[in-house]
Amino acid sequence: MAQVQRLAILGDEAVALAVKQSNVDVIAAYPITPQTIIVEKLSEYVANGELDAAFIQAESEHSALSVCVGAGLAGARVYTSTCSQGLALMHEIVYAASSMRVPMVMTIVNRSLNAPLNIHCEHGDVMAERDSGWVHLFATSVQEAYDLTFIAFKLSEHPDVLLPVSVNMDAFILSHSIEPLTPISDEDAAKFLPPKKYEYEIDFDNPMTYGTMALPDTYMEFKMQLKEAVENAEKVFADVVEEYAKISGRKYWYFNSYMADDADALVIVLGSTYGTLKTAAKKLREEGLKVGVLGLTMFRPFPEKQLVEVLRNVKAVIVMDRAYSYGGLGGPLYSDVVATLYRNGIRIPAKNVVYGLGGRDFKLDEAEAVLRMAAQGAREGGFDTHVQWWGVKA
């Protein structure tokens, strides 16, 4: 593990640095706030000769992801980033990329979808793609967004996976915040990510068919193979993070965990809010409240087995969603957690807190209030409501 200098760096620039060190071959880009800084920085690296890659400014996000599919099938290591309406425009190709088993990495700087127009943080954009067959990872900090980029490439290109991977980071909260970063060295990055080897790359001397038409007598078999590949990603992830820990000194898991082992009440969340809840939980622990926090790193495939090991030992859980399934039973993460509880025979109270839509602040005192509510639910054996929209103005 080589010694490197610690940096103070913008979230978007940290991701661009990781992509540069990952030695990508093709970057396809289309600007959309707040991810634009990532590809702007990468274009500088290419223009300055610091990165030997093709930088392709596509005509739209749909085209950018299409370029990645073609380049990935040709054997290149490919990257793009987007958010919000840009991701929505990619929707058709998101499904094509996973179904065609194209290894690639895309950073999604999670931002609200219109209307009304809002450019701030929300997780609804990626939730629209949650069932697409991609692997979806979430960062809780700038350091994690950097590290998960390497992990995503390694996972994506593993021969038992061969799937596109998204790394999600909260708009502005992480993308435009300056935080401390301890990078890995270029040498360690090269060892962790040697040149890509793709068994099924386009070869004119050995032709294969890609994206073929499948009629009802064959289509389900293709989708079963996709299901198996996504499930493989869960298994491979444990090995990939172990290997990354050896070069970085930072060990990742399916989720971040703070004081969850002996907690009576647990709050589960995605993204940067984990840090706010963690700080609040530390304070409440000093008051004697046995509360804990989980911040999922892997959202798809959903880490059911790993979560059950924690959930079996708590008395109540609150699940926080920065998105909502309109007309459904709550937020997307809440639905997954409740399903996990039910089919594993865990009968504890569960409540959904929908918060922070459109980038609305979720402050430290609010985090304390949610944790106290979780502790009360554990103490009283239930909650007064199943779903609460947090902080909505009267």
What residues contact 267, with CB distance under 8 A and at least 6 apart? 277, 281, 291, 292, 293, 294, 317, 318, 319, 320, 370, 371, 374
Per-residue pLDDT at 18 exceeds 80: yes
Beta carbons within 10 angstroms of residue 385's beta carbon? 9
Kindly state the percentage of the chain with pLDDT values over 90: 97
pTM of the predicted model, to two decimals?
0.97
User: Token pair of 200, please?
Assistant: 């099924």
For residues 133-171, one letter each, b for 16 or more C-beta atoms within 10 angstroms of the residue's C-beta and e for the rest, the string is bbbbbbbbbbbbbbbbbbbbbbbbbbeebbbbbbbbbbb
Q: Do domains 7-248 and 255-389 have the same CATH topology?
A: yes
Q: How confident is the model at residue 294 (pLDDT cuts 50, 70, 90)?
A: very high
- Tell me how far apart the alpha carbons of residues 48 and 176 are, in angstroms, rounded to a whole number: 23
Per-residue pLDDT at 4: 82
Kindly state the average pLDDT of the residues 43-67: 98
- Tell me how far apart the alpha carbons of residues 271 and 275 are, in angstroms, rounded to a whole number: 9
Q: How confident is the model at residue 394 (pLDDT cuts 50, 70, 90)?
A: confident
| Maximum distance among all Cα pairs of the chain, rounded to whole angstroms | 70
Indicate the CATH number for domain 7-248.
3.40.50.970
SS3 string, the chain, reads: CCCCCCEEEEHHHHHHHHHHHCCCCEEEECCCCCCHHHHHHHHHHHHCCCCCCEEEECCCHHHHHHHHHHHHHCCCCEEEEECHHHHHHCHHHHHHHHHCCCCEEEEEEECCCCCCCCCCCCCHHHHCCCCCCCEEEECCCHHHHHHHHHHHHHHHHCCCCCCEEEEEEECCCCCCCEEEECCCCHHHHHHHCCCCCCCCCCCCCCCCCCCCCCCCCCHHHHHHHHHHHHHHHHHHHHHHHHHHHHHHCCCCCCEEEECCCCCCEEEEEECCHHHHHHHHHHHHHHCCCCEEEEEECEEECCCHHHHHHHHCCCCEEEEEECCCCCCCCCCHHHHHHHHHHHHCCCCCCEEEEECCHHHCCCCHHHHHHHHHHHHHHHHHCCCCCCEEECCCCC
Beta carbons within 10 angstroms of residue 213's beta carbon? 7
Per-residue CA distances from 131 to 91, 283, 298, 302, 307 (Å): 11, 37, 14, 11, 20
Summarised one tens digit per residue, pLDDT across range 89-148 is 999 999 999 999 999 999 999 999 999 999 999 999 999 999 999 999 999 999 999 999
* Contact yes or no for 111/121 (Cβ under 8 A): yes
Q: How confident is the model at residue 179 (pLDDT cuts 50, 70, 90)?
A: very high
Q: Is the dihedral angle over the CA atoms 236, 165, 21, 142 positive or is it negative?
A: negative
Per-residue pLDDT at 2 exceeds 80: no
Q: How confident is the model at residue 331 (pLDDT cuts 50, 70, 90)?
A: very high
Per-residue pLDDT at 355: 98
Closest CA to 173 of 363, 319, 393, 394: 363
Per-residue pLDDT at 3 exceeds 80: no
Per-residue pLDDT at 288 exceeds 80: yes
Q: Is the dihedral angle over the CA atoms 26, 31, 37, 43 positive or is it negative?
A: positive
Rounded mean pLDDT of the chain?
A: 97
Summarised one tens digit per residue, pLDDT across range 227-284 is 999 999 999 999 999 999 999 999 999 999 999 999 999 999 999 999 999 999 999 9
Evaluate whether the domain defined by 255-389 bears CATH number 3.30.70.20: no
Domain boundaries, the chain: 7-248, 255-389
Per-residue pLDDT at 353: 98
- Tell me how far apart the alpha carbons of residues 4 and 99 are, in angstroms, rounded to a whole number: 39
Q: Which residue has the tokens 């929505």?
A: 88
